Homo-oligomer: A and B are copies of this chain.
Amino acid sequence: MLPFARIAILGLGLIGSSLARAVGEAMPTARITGHDSDPAVRDTVRRLGLCDDVTDTPGAAVTDADCVILCVPVGAMADLAAAIADDLPDNAVVSDVGSSKAGVAAALRAALPGRAIVPAHPVAGTERSGPEAGFASLFRGRWCILTPAEDADPAAVARVEAFWRALGAEVETMAADHHDLVLAITSHLPHLIAYSIVGTASDLEAVTRSEVIKYSAGGFRDFTRIAASDPTMWRDVFLANKDAVLEMLQRFTEDLTALQRAIRWDDGDALFDLFTRTRAIRRSIIEQGQDDERPDFGRSHA
């Protein structure tokens, strides 16, 4: 009993193409139809054989789907939803994989009134983009957060939950607003800070870019990974989740200012206390299977 038999994936980048691969492995009898607005991406996905069919328009991809998953930057969700409205079967469940949820949910509801909408966010990814960067195991052991409206059809929610569990994900349900606050600290602010410090480092005059690169193993290189993430996706996230991001940024800035003061006044105890506390969080993340337990993320040292 598959949760869905005919799945349309709209947007075939890292997440959409990983989804196509994961569905292909976990639900080999499900039919997958894909679409991407970029003809070159469509060609790549056809060549890789990730979908049973790749259509040139989003409407053509959804005509007989029982599940439609929007995998485009959050700023593109509203237009895409409007573009499929006329072709969407009445009984199809609509979901998405956007990194911010309240705004996306509102846009989907506005464009597709009366439809079964179950917004989702698989908290998984890499710094790579595009259909060739995807892989089937991306969601395995990661959390997928569902943010259905309070009046959402429980059967539709249960099917989307079963779908993600079948791909190896853990599933949690929460309100869209709370999701946006949680992800602002666990994902959006980390990306903003990483982008920012990489920008700072490349704009210095006293330290050359070549020096920044050569000595990046001191810690900086860690930040460059997430600062290599897709620019369009992340621009949209910050604009869509503005309030929560600004709130978390404000708190971070206050805490950083306190550290700055501790350094300026040689308050070694304050530094030591914080640096001791932060170790516990890392341990918990590893214990709960959310990161590699090997040192240095398991990077090769050969």
Which residues of A pack against B, CB within 8 Å? 75, 99, 123-128, 133, 135, 137-138, 140, 142-143, 145, 172, 181-183, 185-204, 206-207, 209, 211-229, 231-232, 234-236, 238-239, 242, 245-246, 248-249, 251-253, 255-256, 259-260, 263-264, 266, 268, 271-272, 274-279, 281-285, 288, 290-292, 295-302
Give the chain B neighbours of A187 by CB distance below 8 A: 215, 218-220
Shortest Cβ distance from residue A69 to the other chain B in the assembled complex, whole angstroms:
19
Contact pick for A296, options B123, B225, B276, B288, CB 8 Å: B225
> Lowest 5 A-B CB distances belong to which pairs?
A187-B218, A231-B275, A190-B219, A228-B282, A126-B295
Contact pick for A202, options B135, B227, B277, B298, CB 8 Å: B277
- Contact of A186 with B201 in the complex, beta carbons under 8 Å: yes
Give the chain B neighbours of A268 by CB distance below 8 A: 75, 235-236, 239
> Provided the pairs A217-B290, A272-B231 are in contact, do residues A266 and B239 lie with their beta carbons within 8 angstroms?
yes
Q: How far is the CA of A181 from the CA of B275 in the complex (A)?
A: 22
Shortest Cβ distance from residue A244 to the other chain B in the assembled complex, whole angstroms:
10
Give the chain B neighbours of A239 by CB distance below 8 A: 263, 266, 268, 271
- Contact of A281 with B227 in the complex, beta carbons under 8 Å: yes
Q: Which residue of B lies closest to A231 (CB)?
A: B275
Contact pick for A251, options B128, B204, B252, CB 8 Å: B204
> Provided the pairs A201-B186, A278-B199 are in contact, do residues A193 and B224 lie with their beta carbons within 8 angstroms?
no
Q: Which residue of B lies closest to A75 (CB)?
A: B268
> Provided the pairs A185-B207, A195-B278, A291-B221 are in contact, do residues A232 and B272 lie with their beta carbons within 8 angstroms?
yes
Supply 11 A–B pairs (Cβ within 8 Å), ascending by A. Answer: A123-B215, A186-B212, A186-B216, A193-B256, A197-B252, A202-B281, A225-B282, A229-B275, A231-B272, A234-B275, A246-B264
- Contact of B196 with A256 in the complex, beta carbons under 8 Å: yes
Q: Which residue of B lies closest to A139 (CB)?
A: B301
Give the chain B neighbours of A281 by CB distance below 8 A: 198, 201-202, 209, 212-213, 224, 227
Contact pick for A297, options B206, B232, B297, CB 8 Å: B297
Give the chain B neighbours of A127 by CB distance below 8 A: 282, 295-296
Give the chain B neighbours of A300 by CB distance below 8 A: 292, 298
- Contact of B222 with A207 in the complex, beta carbons under 8 Å: no
> Provided the pairs A195-B275, A196-B259, A278-B199 are in contact, do residues A138 and B301 lie with their beta carbons within 8 angstroms?
yes
Q: Which residue of B lies closest to A170 (CB)?
A: B214
Q: How far is the CA of A203 from the CA of B28 in the complex (A)?
A: 45
> Provided the pairs A212-B186, A277-B199 are in contact, do residues A291 and B217 lie with their beta carbons within 8 angstroms?
yes
- Besides A186-B220, A213-B285, 10 other CB < 8 A contacts? A126-B295, A186-B215, A187-B215, A193-B197, A209-B281, A217-B291, A228-B282, A231-B275, A235-B272, A249-B260
> Provided the pairs A212-B186, A213-B285, A282-B224 are in contact, do residues A256 and B253 lie with their beta carbons within 8 angstroms?
yes
